[in-house]
Chains A and B, each alone.
Chain A
Amino acid sequence: MKVVPTIGMETHVELNTDSKMFCSCRVEYSSDPNKNLCPTCLGLPGALPVPNKKAIEMITLLSLSLGCNITEKGMFHRKNYFYPDLPKNYQISQFDFPVGTDGVLQIFSEDQLSDVEIERVHMEEDTGKSIHSGGRIDSAEYTWLDYNRSGVPLVEIVTKPVISNAKEAVAYIEELRQLVIDIGISHGKLELGNLRFDANISVAKEDQEELGIKVEIKNMNSLKSLERAINYEIDRQTSLISDDKLVIQETRHWDEKVEKTISMRTKEGSEDYRYFSDPDIPNMNLDKSFVNRVKESLSELPKDRRNRYVNLGLSLEESNHIVKSEEWVRTLFEDLLENTPNIRSSYLWSTGELLGQMRKFDVDYKPDHLNGENLGELITLVEEKKISASVGKEILSKLIQEDLSPSEYATSNALIQESNEDQIEELVLNVLDSNPEMIERIRSGEDKLISFLVGEVMKASSSSLNPGIIKEIIVNKTK
């Protein structure tokens, strides 16, 4: 039966401020538990929160880059619930006056661009970390708590329920991740928990007007698990409604090992967070002058960069690929644009060949000496057919290991090949004259002889020749 899945994403982004959201403790990934604490982030009695200006600037910057409206009178709310990793047993968050509302994020999915509407962007604080031993209540096990992460600034971004499949959801996260990296507010490393996401999924019969029952899926730690989890859940819900069964509104965990979403033990009663405005924090005033000041630091967004590359000649997919690459790749690519004649070759060499060779040589980071100038020089040599592509790749492997000038290297190693067509034509004609019977045989279909002749032409020359051009001329002459 035909169903229409609807997905909404909730994403938490850890901001890379120096200090925490409501206190001056260091934000640091430390293996020493409970190292960076103070009365405020440890939830000691008598402690008070003081909001971090940089965090507010960052969330405003993010909201602006998503085209959101900025709420002038921002308010912090207390979200009340008990959990050991939440020191005050309430989280300072935002409820009905979030910093940003009604934005949009352009994503690239399945070969096209589309817009994902953003419902809200709000500020909150992170909790500490719990480590559970065992996992069964009935054995004498423990939970261990580390509050280093408690109080780290988090931005929550909630989309409207407008995503229609798993691939789109993944593309959304990829785009959001790139955005927060590009505007400089987060390191965006999924494996470190800089970006965490939950999905809200429902399915409805094709002709149904209202959305189906919404199920929240948590515990997806990678883009792969996001995709798998969404697909699993869509299937699960589809089977249920095909059998005319009800989908229960609940929260489910994605279990990576068994590749299923599992219903969480429902606590007695649903959560009542009893939101109320935090009396320890007066209203924020995000007035026009503040917003304008933040706007000034808005630089090129991923979607604008993607458009720019398309206008310069790359395909959408290629542009997207560069936009989503690591920063050094993008910087190198931008440098190459100034140093080579052809955007596509810049793209192919920087994303394909270079990365491939680095992997082959087990080089994790771009060598310092390698830059747009020397790599650009190399690419230009190939583009101008002064060296063949395979020679180019050889020189690149040298360039990865040591600082050199590709043109000097090529010259001193006699790798520059003649590409002057007139000169090559002369040599071809000479060889053809010496091998007249070959011309007849090639005309009657013995294409293998072309390679033989190419070899003969190359032998006949003291300098390196462009084999492609030789072949072209031979083919022309033997028609």
Chain B
Amino acid sequence: MPKDFDIQAIAKLALIELNSEEESKLSEDLGIILEHVDALSTLSIDDSDMTIHPLGIELELREDTVQDGLDHKESMRNAPDEKDGFFQVPPSMD
């Protein structure tokens, strides 16, 4: 486990609230996993392409034409809270 492993900082980045019990359990779990995956860092792989896609797929761009999507009702159907057609949330700090 890296010395500066900060579960609170990571939870903040991932925006998941953790209580102190969860913090220690998750720290522990992640520690076990990281120890295992550390074996990877021992591999010296130089000059290797970083492969994102297994098949080296080439991107096919989309023509700039408009197509119908969801109508307003469908877009709002799962909204936990709305007002006048807007999604409503508690205030977000800028």
**Chains A and B touch each other in the complex, with CB atoms below 8 Å apart:** yes
Interface residues of A (CB under 8 A from B): 17-19, 23-26, 32-39, 41-42, 50-56, 82-85, 89, 130-135, 137, 141-147, 253, 264-265, 267-269, 272, 274, 277, 279, 281-285
A38 to B53, CA, bound (A): 26
Nearest-CB residue, chain B, relative to A219: B94
How far does the Cβ of B46 sit from chain A's closest Cβ, in whole Å? 19
How far does the Cβ of A219 sit from chain B's closest Cβ, in whole Å? 9
Question: Given A134-B91, A144-B86, A282-B53, is A37 in contact with B70 using a C-beta cutoff of 8 Å?
Answer: yes
**Hey, which chain A residues are within 8 Å of B86, CB to CB?**
33-34, 131, 144-146
Whether the Cβ atoms of B64 and A264 lie closer than 8 Å is: no
Question: Given A55-B64, A82-B15, is A145 in contact with B72 using a C-beta cutoff of 8 Å?
Answer: no
A50 to B60, CA, bound (A): 8
Whether the Cβ atoms of B61 and A53 lie closer than 8 Å is: yes
A89 to B14, CA, bound (A): 10
Q: Which of A38, A50, A137, A274 contacts B70 (CB 8 A)?
A: A38
**Hey, which chain B residues are within 8 Å of A279, CB to CB?**
52-53
Query: Which chain B residues (59-94) contact chain A, with CB distance < 8 Å?
Result: 59, 61-67, 69-70, 72, 75-76, 83-94
**Hey, which chain B residues are within 8 Å of A137, CB to CB?**
91, 93
List the 9 closest pairs (A to B, CB-CB), nearest first.
Answer: A38-B69, A54-B64, A53-B61, A144-B86, A24-B67, A145-B87, A282-B57, A33-B85, A282-B59
Q: Which of A23, A54, A133, A283 contacts B58 (CB 8 A)?
A: A283
Whether the Cβ atoms of B70 and A39 lie closer than 8 Å is: yes
**Hey, which chain B residues are within 8 Å of A272, CB to CB?**
13
Whether the Cβ atoms of A284 and B13 lie closer than 8 Å is: no
Interface residues of B (CB under 8 A from A): 9, 12-13, 15, 50, 52-53, 56-59, 61-67, 69-70, 72, 75-76, 83-94
**Hey, which chain B residues are within 8 Å of A38, CB to CB?**
69-70
Question: Given A24-B67, A42-B75, A144-B83, is A265 in contact with B93 using a C-beta cutoff of 8 Å?
Answer: yes
14 A-B interface contacts by CB (under 8 A): A24-B66, A24-B67, A25-B67, A34-B86, A37-B75, A52-B61, A54-B63, A82-B15, A143-B88, A143-B91, A277-B52, A284-B61, A285-B58, A285-B59
Whether the Cβ atoms of B85 and A32 lie closer than 8 Å is: yes
Whether the Cβ atoms of A281 and B59 lie closer than 8 Å is: yes
A36 to B58, CA, bound (A): 29
Whether the Cβ atoms of B72 and A19 lie closer than 8 Å is: no
**Hey, which chain B residues are within 8 Å of A143, CB to CB?**
88-92
How far does the Cβ of A50 sit from chain B's closest Cβ, in whole Å? 5
Question: Given A83-B92, A130-B92, A132-B91, is A34 in contact with B85 using a C-beta cutoff of 8 Å?
Answer: yes
Secondary structure type dominating chain B contacts: loop
Question: Given A131-B86, A282-B53, is A32 in contact with B92 using a C-beta cutoff of 8 Å?
Answer: no
Nearest-CB residue, chain A, relative to B14: A82
**Hey, which chain B residues are within 8 Å of A142, CB to CB?**
83, 88-91
Whether the Cβ atoms of A144 and B88 lie closer than 8 Å is: yes
Whether the Cβ atoms of A23 and B69 lie closer than 8 Å is: yes
Residue among A131, A145, A267, A279 with the most chain B CB within 10 A?
A145
**Hey, which chain A residues are within 8 Å of B66, CB to CB?**
18-19, 24-26
Q: Which of B53, B65, B89 contacts A19 (CB 8 A)?
A: B65
**Hey, which chain A residues are within 8 Å of B50, CB to CB?**
277
How far does the Cβ of B91 sit from chain A's closest Cβ, in whole Å? 5
Whether the Cβ atoms of A284 and B59 lie closer than 8 Å is: yes
A130 to B88, CA, bound (A): 10
**Hey, which chain B residues are within 8 Å of A268, CB to CB?**
12
Whether the Cβ atoms of B91 and A53 lie closer than 8 Å is: no
Whether the Cβ atoms of B65 and A24 lie closer than 8 Å is: yes
How far does the Cβ of A424 sit from chain B's closest Cβ, in whole Å? 64
**Hey, which chain A residues are within 8 Å of B72, CB to CB?**
32, 34-35
Whether the Cβ atoms of B76 and A34 lie closer than 8 Å is: yes
Q: Which of B9, B56, B62, B89 contacts A145 (CB 8 A)?
A: B89
Whether the Cβ atoms of B91 and A56 lie closer than 8 Å is: no
How far does the Cβ of A38 sit from chain B's closest Cβ, in whole Å? 3
Whether the Cβ atoms of B64 and A51 lie closer than 8 Å is: no
Whether the Cβ atoms of B64 and A52 lie closer than 8 Å is: yes
Q: Which of A52, A89, A267, A282 contacts B62 (CB 8 A)?
A: A52
**Hey, which chain B residues are within 8 Å of A267, CB to CB?**
93
A146 to B85, CA, bound (A): 8
Whether the Cβ atoms of B69 and A24 lie closer than 8 Å is: yes
Nearest-CB residue, chain B, relative to A35: B72
Q: Which of A23, A33, A51 contacts B61 (CB 8 A)?
A: A51
A23 to B66, CA, bound (A): 9
**Hey, which chain A residues are within 8 Å of B57, CB to CB?**
282
A146 to B87, CA, bound (A): 7
How far does the Cβ of A24 sit from chain B's closest Cβ, in whole Å? 4
Nearest-CB residue, chain A, relative to B56: A282
**Hey, which chain B residues are within 8 Å of A132, CB to CB?**
91-92, 94
Nearest-CB residue, chain A, relative to B13: A272
A265 to B56, CA, bound (A): 44
A60 to B54, CA, bound (A): 28
Nearest-CB residue, chain B, relative to A135: B91
A269 to B65, CA, bound (A): 42
Nearest-CB residue, chain A, relative to B76: A34
Q: Which of A17, A84, A146 contacts B89 (CB 8 A)?
A: A84
Whether the Cβ atoms of B58 and A282 lie closer than 8 Å is: yes
